[in-house]
Amino acid sequence: MRAMTLDAPGKPLRLVDRPRPVPGREQILIKVHACGVCRTDLHVVDGELGDPKLPIVPGHEIVGTVLEAGREVDRFRPGDRVGVPWLGWTCGTCPHCRAGHENLCDRARFTGYQIDGGYAEQCLADQRYCFAVQGNYSDVEAAPLLCAGLIGYRALRMAGGARRLGIYGFGAAAHIVAQVARHQGRSVFAFTRTGDDAAQSFARSLGAVWAGGSDDRPPEPLEAALIFAPVGALVPVALAAVAKGGTVVCAGIHMSDIPAFPYRLLWEERQIRSVANLTRADAEEFLALAPQVPVRTHTTAFPLREANLALDRLRAGRIEGAAVLVP
């Protein structure tokens, strides 16, 4: 099978031929039909997330069909369409797992980071961490739901009942969560790179009541803000934009350092929270909700061999919605 592999951080991915994987007792072998290109993949490729398995096949927004099942697999059969997310395995025994917070598992393993992912024609996955893909989504349309959608949904839940919601960084996750927020009756205020008129128009087309640059002040105080851009300097900016008691949610796995800021921005019971990974319950809830909204993903498809081009365009902010690889 063909796969794009990362041999060392900072190096381009390399197209290689690999043997067909053989599923273990609780694994399924999946024919990959589509794999989203996530900003987390960039953090792995660029060396901003340390200690990946090397060489590694990136990719954790996988949609495909089951080719073969291990002897103890009981949830899926050959021919089933499945989705594979970032969370690939947890221990089930650490204090976090026992408390229902498997996203914080001390020994968790992640798809496309410690487990070979979906930048390939085939991949293996633990059946317990895979999901049926519902709704009338094509494979390409469904792929971004498996991380951009899931992390956006978890971040939105951390915003509580906020009705005036700011979204900083209007990429793959933001364009999905904005639709969910509007479905829930919230007002969305979109913040993009300064001068990015196309991104602001895109946000308005998805129901944002206002769109402006990341350093602009919204026309009214926000009740919560979600930060998807990996820019620590946005944290004090967002704090200044939220009202008393407001919440700023940092939704990325990596962010540049947060600069010092005056205590008055945090005072009056504002709070800063981070999102770490996802739980299987998050996935079940969101994948059932998405067709009801209905969430419509905006995608740009690339052939597998052009994975480096897709990553370059994502790095430069030249993708509207989400990039998706099609093996």
Residue 135 confidence (pLDDT) above 90: no
Helix axes 172-183, 197-205, angle to 10 degrees: 30
Query: Are 188 and 246 part of one and the same domain?
Result: yes
pLDDT in tens, 167-184: 999 999 999 999 999 999
Question: Would the pLDDT of 8 be above 90?
Answer: yes
Q: Which of 257, 274, 291 is the last residue of a domain?
A: 274
pLDDT (mean) for 115-127: 98
Q: Are residues 102 and 17 in the same domain?
A: yes
* Residues 192 and 268 occupy one common structural domain: yes
Q: How many domains does the chain have?
A: 2
Q: Over 90: is that where the pLDDT of 80 sits?
A: yes
| Residue that terminates a domain, selected from 274, 299, 318 | 274
Give pLDDT, residue 266: 98
The confidence band for 61, taking pLDDT boundaries of 50, 70 and 90, is very high
Same-domain status, 86 and 56: yes
Q: Kindly state whether residues 8 and 140 are assigned to the same domain.
A: yes
Average pLDDT (1-11) is 97
Q: What is the mean pLDDT of the chain?
A: 97
- Which percentage of the chain shows pLDDT scores above 90? 98
Q: For residue 147, is pLDDT > 90?
A: yes
**Each residue's pLDDT tens digit, 23-39:** 999 999 999 999 999 99
Q: Is the pLDDT of residue 101 over 90?
A: yes
Same domain flag for 215 and 255: yes
Segments forming the whole domain that contains residue 50: 2-146+278-326
pLDDT of 158 reads 96
pLDDT for res 212: 97
Q: Report how far residue 262's alpha carbon sits from residue 264's, in angstroms, rounded to the nearest whole number.
A: 5
* Domain identity same for 287 and 240: no
Both 297 and 255 in one domain: the answer is no
Same domain, 105 and 241: no
Kindly report the backbone phi and psi dihedral angles of residue 187, in degrees, each rounded to the nearest multiple of 5, phi listed first: -95, 130
Is it the case that residue 93 has pLDDT exceeding 90?
Answer: yes
Res 76: pLDDT:
97
Which CATH number characterizes residue 295's domain?
3.90.180.10
- pLDDT-based confidence at 315, cuts 50/70/90? very high
Whole-structure pTM over 0.75, yes or no?
yes
- Together in a domain, 55 and 154: no
- CATH number assigned to the domain comprising residue 261: 3.40.50.720
The 10s digit of each residue's pLDDT in 279-292 is 999 999 999 999 99
Residues 259 and 307 in one domain: no
Same domain, 173 and 205: yes
Note whether 159 and 286 are within 8 A (CB).
no
- Of the three residues 274, 302, 318, the one that is the final residue of a domain is 274
Q: Check whether 134 has a pLDDT greater than 90.
A: no
Q: Which two tokens stand for residue 171?
A: 């990429």
